Amino acid sequence: MRAFWILGDQLQHDHPALELAGPKDLFLFIESRARGAHLRYHSHKLVLIYSAMRHYARSLESAGRRVAYHALEDGPSGGKGDYAAALEGMVRKHKITSLAVMRPSEWAMREALPKLARKAGVELAELESNQFLVPGADFTRWAGGRKHLLMADHYQVQRRRLGLLLDAEGKPEGGQWSFDAENRETHAQFAKARPAIPPLPREKPDGVTRGVIEAVRRHFPGHPGDPEAFWLPVTRERALHWLDDFIARRLAQFGPYEDTMAEGEPVLFHSVLTPMLNIGLLRPRECVERAAAAWKEKRAPLASVEGFIRQIIGWREFINGVYNLEGPAYAEHNALGAERPLPPWMQEGEPPLRCVAECVRQARATGYNHHIQRLMVLGNFFLLGGYAPREVVRWYMEHYVDAYDWVMQPNVLGMVLYADGGRFATKPYAAGSGYIGRMGNYCAQCRFDPKQKTGPKACPFNYLYWDFFARHRARFAGNPRVGMMIRTLDKKSPAERAAIQESARDFLG
C-alpha cells in the first residue's frame, strides 16, 4: 500500500498529496510526544498544531479519504511516543510499502525522514513543497555569489514576479517600493489619535480542541502558557475568517501603527496570521492578494497594504530563503562572541525592566508579541546584553506560537543578534531607552529612569547600548549606519565611559 504522511505544519488545502493520492491510498498523521517535548514549546502552539491536524484529518475522512491517525494518547503506557515507533506500527498494521512526504520546512526533519523510512522498511519519496511562494532553487539563483543579501532587492523581484501593486508600466504604485517611512507613528501620536482597536475574532474550542487541550495539559506540564486559555483558529474556515476580519477591520490602520507599542494592547492592528500561515491553514498568495484588492477597492491606504505585503513576500519569503541557502551550519554562528547565559527571570519570575516584563508576560500568556516587541524590546535586550545565541534562539522557539526553525534561526541570528556578522542585516538593531520611550508607553510605570544614563536608577538600555558599542568598537567603527555612534562614544570622557562599563557590569552580573 502507498501512504502519504502529512506533517503538522503542512495542513494546506492544496497539499500536493491530495492530487496524487488515489482512493486506495492512505493518509498518515502522527502526533509525537517526543517531538512535542523536544523543547518547552508554548502550550498554545502545541494545541494549535495537534487540533489543526485532527480537524484536517477529519476533513479528509469526510471527503472519502482513507486516514490513519496516531494521537498523543495512543500507544502503550510508557511507550516512546516518537515518530519512529508510531510509523513502524502504522507500516505493519496497514502493510505500507511506500511512503511519500512533502519536503519538510525544517532541516532536522529533512535529515530524519530517510532514517525513519529505512527503519520502518518502506520506500520514501519526497514531494516538492508548495509552502512558500519562492522555491528554494529560485532564491539560490537570486542570491548567487552575493556577499550581502538585501531583503529590499529580493522583495522588488517578487513584487514584479507576482504582479503586486504595480502600475500599467510595471512600476510600483505610489512611485516607491516601500512606504516604511510613513508607517512609524509614535506612541504619542497613537495616544492623540486614539484610534478604535477592533478585537480579534473569538474562538470557542469544540470537542476536538477540548480533547487536545486536555492531552497537552497532561503530556506537557511545565511548558509556557495555560492550554485552557487557547485562543487561535484551528480550521481553514476559521483562519480565513481571521484573514477577512483583518482586511476589513485592521488593515487600514496597520501601517501607521505597526511599530507602536501600548500596554494592554498586545495586538493593536497587527494581523496575527502567521500561526495559521506557518502550518498551512492560510496560504501566502491569498493573503497578499486580498490585501492588494482592499487597496484597489479603496478600503485601505497604499502604505498599510504595502507594509503588510512586504511582511509576507518580503520578510517571510526572504527569511525562508536565507534558511535554506545557509543550511544547518547557520545555527552555529556567533560573530559577536556572545556567551552570557540568559538571566533566570527570562524563564520564571519578573524581569526588572517594565518593557521587557510586559513583553515576556504577554509571550508567556499568549505565545504572541508583535514584531517590534520581539526585535526592539526583547531582541534589543538580548543583543546589548551579549546573551548566547543558542539560548536566545531557544527562548524564542519556546515562547511563540508561530516559531519554527526556519523562522527563528535567520530572524534571531541575523536580525536580532547580528550573530551571522551581517549576512543580511546592514547594522545591529541596537537602541537605547529613547526608541522604546518614543514608540511605547512602558517607561512611565518603570522602576528605572530613562533620563538617567548610568547608575542604579538609570534605564539599563542606556548604558547597555554604549557598553555594546564599546565592546564591539573595532567591528562597527567603519559601518556607515552606526559608525557615528562609535564617534560619539569616543567623545565621551574617561569617567563617562568608566561609569557606563561599571553600570553594565553591575546590572549583568
Relative orientation angle of helices 460-471 and 494-508, to the nearest 10 degrees? 110
pLDDT at 494 over 60: yes
The tally of CA atoms less than 13 A away on the side-chain side of residue 331 is 14
Q: What percentage of the chain reaches a pLDDT higher than 90? A: 97
Mean of the per-residue pLDDT values of the chain? 96
Taking the C-alpha atoms of residue 143 and residue 254, their distance in angstroms, rounded to an integer, is 31
Q: What structural domains and CATH numbers belong to the chain?
A: 2-127 (3.40.50.620), 136-198+250-321 (1.25.40.80), 344-508 (1.10.579.10)
Residue closest to 355 by CA, chosen among 379, 331, 323: 379
The predicted structure's pLDDT at residue 75: 67
Cα dihedral across residues 433, 435, 438, 442: positive or negative? negative
pLDDT at 29 over 60: yes
181 contact partners, CB below 8 Å, separation of at least 6: none
45 contact partners, CB below 8 Å, separation of at least 6: 275, 367, 400, 401, 402, 403
How far apart are the two ends of the chain, measured CA to CA in Å? 61
The predicted structure's pLDDT at residue 81: 72
Strand partners, 98: 2, 123
CA distances 341 to 14, 346, 378, 380, 391, Å, are 43, 10, 15, 16, 7
Band of pLDDT at residue 53, cut at 50, 70 and 90: very high
pLDDT at 252 over 80: yes
Band of pLDDT at residue 36, cut at 50, 70 and 90: very high
C-alpha cell at 395: 527562548
Asked whether the beta carbons of 304 and 288 are under 8 A apart, the reply is: no
Q: Calculate mean pLDDT across residues 190-200.
A: 97
Q: What is the 3-state secondary structure (H, E, C) of 37-95?
A: CCCCCCHHHHHHHHHHHHHHHHHHHHCCCEEEEECCCCCCCCCCCCHHHHHHHHHHHHC
CA distances 280 to 14, 49, 404, Å, are 9, 10, 13
pLDDT digits (tens, 9 = 90+) for 300-333: 999 999 999 999 999 999 999 999 999 999 999 9
Cα dihedral across residues 186, 360, 381, 36: positive or negative? negative
The predicted structure's pLDDT at residue 77: 40
pLDDT at 4 over 60: yes
293 in helix, strand or coil?
helix
Q: Calculate mean pLDDT across residues 21-32.
A: 97
Residue 387, phi then psi, degrees to nearest 5 = -80, 145
Taking the C-alpha atoms of residue 52 and residue 55, their distance in angstroms, rounded to an integer, is 5
pLDDT at 78 over 70: no
User: Helix H segments across 297-353?
Assistant: 302-309, 317-326
pLDDT at 425 over 50: yes
The tally of CA atoms less than 13 A away on the side-chain side of residue 233 is 22
429 in helix, strand or coil?
coil
pLDDT at 119 over 50: yes
pLDDT digits (tens, 9 = 90+) for 372-406: 999 999 999 999 999 999 999 999 999 999 999 99
Residue closest to 41 by CA, chosen among 402, 370, 410, 406: 402
Cα dihedral across residues 376, 377, 381, 384: positive or negative? positive
291 contact partners, CB below 8 Å, separation of at least 6: 247, 251, 300, 305, 308, 309
The predicted structure's pLDDT at residue 223: 98
Taking the C-alpha atoms of residue 302 and residue 309, their distance in angstroms, rounded to an integer, is 10
